[in-house]
Amino acid sequence: MTRRPRPRTVTAVVASVALLLAGCTGTEGAQKSSGSDSGMIDFLNYGDFGGGTTPKPNYNPYLDATKLSAADYIYESLMYVETYSCKALPWLATSYEWSDPKTLVYQIRPGVKWNDGKPFTAADVEFTFAMLKKFDVLDTQGVWASLASVEATGADRVTFTFKQPGASVFTQVSGVKIVPQHVWSKVADPTTFVNATAPVGTGPMKLKAFNPRQLVVERNPDYWQADKIKVNEIRFNKADAGGQVEQLKLSRGEYDTNGMFVQDIKKAYVDRDPEHHHYWYAPGGVISVYMNLTKAPFDDVAFRKALTTAFDDQQVIDKAQLGYVTEASQSGLVVPGQKDWLPAGIADEGRIGYDAAAADKALTDAGYTKDGQGRRLGKDGKPISFAFKVPGSYVDWVAAADILIKNLKALGFDVEKETPTPDAHNQDRATGNYDMMFGVHGGGCNMYANFADPLSSARTAPIGKKAASNEIRWQDPRTDELVRTLQVSPDEKAQKEAVAGLVDVMMNQVPMIPIWYGAKWFQYDTTKAEGWPNEQDPYADGANGLVVLTHLVPAGG
């Protein structure tokens, strides 16, 4: 399996002995067995902390490229949209309400303090958003493209006014990290402010120590939900020279949790300590077969629908993806996490199984018959031939493509595999220079983006020109109308009705064919801590660090 950049990627680093000694905190090399009988977990060892190969102290939550992981536990947002079921959890705001499609009001949580003891108020929220407007490079969520104003309307209320109906940017606005006005108002240029000394936030942890090998945060005793935080320290550890070293450290139990790709996770990790070593790879983005909808026969809905049973998804999962992933739903949603968005009556949550005989019959019934040599013919009577493009260096995708090409050939198609470089592959997909290939879409918690990106006609382009995101060239007035509803309506009932309509488009018009979900790598050790999310208790996925921290308890406690 070739690894491509993912949200939780371990980065290699080589540090000199002199550098290690110069930055020693006294916490390195602590043993896995260290625990506590006080109802608390003394410390947990996490994986990499970011910052590249030569990390430096940086806890500015808006400098995504260079900030260190401590920032994710020091700063918080108004709501926390956990990324498994996509529920918006009350956080620094206890609730929100849409007064009208352009006006969103958050109720600010009372009694919250910054970790320097000063009170958190609505004024801090107003200040934060005003700062992002003034220094737009910090607006990493792009919220001011949609916002007209943000105003504290009392000590415990903040009103957001949008230029246009703002439902489609709720997740972005809710996810902005809030910083203290009494600190950041004194910063001349927040775009270069690394916030390296005693960063002030509302979060569950405070900075304790840093050196190029280890980053340590400690429990904030005055945290607004401190009763849920049972971990005294989190120790992030800089990745060593290469994946094999990191996998060895994981297998030896040196990490209480990590998020890395491991070739044979059962043998390399689970079997080393079956009682305590576990993993759960929650489903992420949807990997689909993209067809160039401007070309025959892919422009025929009956042809596309016939192919929904043509692909051996399970073989792709077992052989090309090592059994680490799950079959994707034709709905375009990520199930089972997003099952609440599925309309009633969808069998098996929209998964369509492999049935070559059914595909053969459906193709024949649609007018795509075979000749005496078993070749599948187009409606012009000529054998159908096309190419399947896949980046040659993406070993797992190539293996998956080989399986699908074999399935297609068994149905009588003449399919050639082309293996361009990743850059050429992506360019060809964007400009429509392909017949069939893989594409990735959805997987997030913004339903508007999940469907607008691959399906909105406003995001496509003529063949030869680069499409913004609709690379299959899908154009359908009904789809655009449903996407528009997701963009403008804050009403949950209306949004779910729109998603139901888009699911119907996916199921019955088949603009693309989902095959599998990308994996969110997550390993965890229950020697010291229990309460990690897993398939039986999927309260969040492993990347939702703040939510996970509120669930952890001492093992056996």
Q: What is the pLDDT of residues 382-430, one digit of tens each?
A: 999 999 999 999 999 999 999 999 999 999 999 999 999 999 999 999 9
**First CA to last CA across the chain, in angstroms?**
39
Question: For residues 352 and 377, what is the distance between their CA atoms, to the nearest angstrom?
Answer: 25
Confirm if 85 and 337 have CB atoms less than 8 A apart. Answer: yes
Residue 110 and residue 236 in one domain: no
Q: Are 261 and 269 in contact (CB under 8 A)?
A: no
Which pLDDT score is estimated for 36?
55
Tokens representing residue 330 in the block:
């034709």
Write down which residue in 151, 185, 219 finishes a domain: 185
* Conformational region of residue 121, where left means phi above 0, alpha means psi within -120 to 50, and beta covers everything else: beta
Structure tokens, 49? 């902390």
Rounded CA-CA distance 543/520 in Å is: 8
215: domain CATH number? 3.40.190.10
Please list the ranges in the chain whose pLDDT falls under 70: 1-37, 557
Kindly state whether residue 266 falls inside one of the protein's structural domains. Answer: yes
Say if residue 136 is in the same domain as residue 234: no
Q: Do residue 397 and residue 513 come from a single domain?
A: yes
Q: What pLDDT score does 35 carry?
A: 53
Say yes or no: 227 and 288 in one domain: no
**CA of 339: how far to CAs of 87, 89, 345, in Å?**
12, 18, 12
The answer to pTM > 0.75 is yes
User: Which of 448, 428, 449 is CA-nearest to residue 437?
Assistant: 428
Can you tell me the distance from the alpha carbon of 530 to that of 555, in angstroms, rounded to the nearest whole number? 5
Q: pLDDT tens for residues 11-63?
A: 232 232 232 223 333 334 444 544 556 799 999 999 999 998 889 999 999 99
Does any domain span residue 218? yes
> Among all chains, which residue has been given the structure tokens 């599948």?
376
CATH of the domain at 122: 3.90.76.10
- What pLDDT score does 37 carry? 60
Q: Is residue 55 part of a domain?
A: no
The reply to whether 448 falls in a domain is: yes
- State both tokens at 158: 């903040």
Q: Domain containing 526: what range?
A: 205-282+520-554
Is 224 found in the same domain as 261? yes
What are the distances in angstroms from CA 230 to CA 219, 220, 344?
A: 8, 11, 40
Same domain, 253 and 361: no
Q: Specify whether 405 is located in the same domain as 489.
A: yes
What's the total number of domains in the chain?
Answer: 3
- The CATH code of the domain that includes 334 is 3.10.105.10
Cis peptide upstream of residue 190 (ω within 30 degrees of 0): no
pLDDT score of 15:
30
Shared domain for 175 and 219, answered yes or no, is no
Q: Quick check: is 54 in a domain? A: no
Asked whether residue 304 falls in the same domain as residue 381, the answer is: yes
Instruction: Enter the tokens of residue 127.
Output: 């200040």
Nearest partner of 235 among 60, 29, 33, judged by Cα = 29
The reply to whether 431 and 298 lie within a common domain is yes
Rounded Cα distance, 88 and 281, in Å: 22
Residue 327 lies in a domain: yes
Q: Has residue 529 been placed in a domain?
A: yes
- Is residue 53 included in any domain, yes or no? no
Contacts of 289 (CB under 8 A, 6+ apart): 307, 311, 404, 436, 437, 438, 439, 512, 513, 515
**Which pLDDT value is given to residue 324?**
97
Pairing of strands 277-279, 512-520: unpaired
Claim to verify: residue 455 and residue 529 sit in the same structural domain: no
Phi–psi pair at 264, nearest 5 degrees: -130, 85
Instruction: Return the structure tokens found at 277.
Output: 């070593």
309 and 227 within one domain = no
